[in-house]
Amino acid sequence: DVKVTQSSRYLVKRTGEKVFLECVQDMDHENMFWYRQDPGLGLRLIYFSYDVKMKEKGDIPEGYSVSREKKERFSLILESASTNQTSMYLCASSLGNQETQYFGPGTRLLVL
């Protein structure tokens, strides 16, 4: 079974803090993704990566950056957290383009 793990299920941070969300997959998948999920908006793509050190912006990259130094790990960074970044963050991975995405359990981030 594909396993995608996220470093935290719940996280509380202060405005202005730098926040790191970690995601690890164990199936040697090429592609990895970060989404945020908000009620009524569904999942919105923040960034995705199709290879180590490669990244592409999604629909809402502002205020976020990503890092993929190893194939199995994809990090989402909030350089200076703001209250409007309070959300559920979902990581996913897929074997390749247009393949099924496998999701982690999500990290619920609260920025105070």
Partner 1 sequence: AQSVTQPDIHITVSEGASLELRCNYSYGATPYLFWYVQSPGQGLQLLLKYFSGDTLVQGIKGFEAEFKRSQSSFNLRKPSVHWSDAAEYFCAVGARTGDMRFGAGTRLTVKP
Q: Is 63 in the site for partner 1 (CB under 8 A)?
A: no
Query: CB-wise, 31 or 75, nearer to partner 1?
Result: 31
Count of residues touching partner 1 (by CB under 8 A): 28
Residue 84 touches partner 1, criterion: CB under 8 A: no
Calpha distance 21→34 (Å, rounded): 10
Question: Hey, which residues between 91 and 110 contact partner 1 (CB under 8 A)?
Answer: 92, 94, 96-106
Examine residue 87 and tell whether it contacts partner 1 (CB under 8 A): no
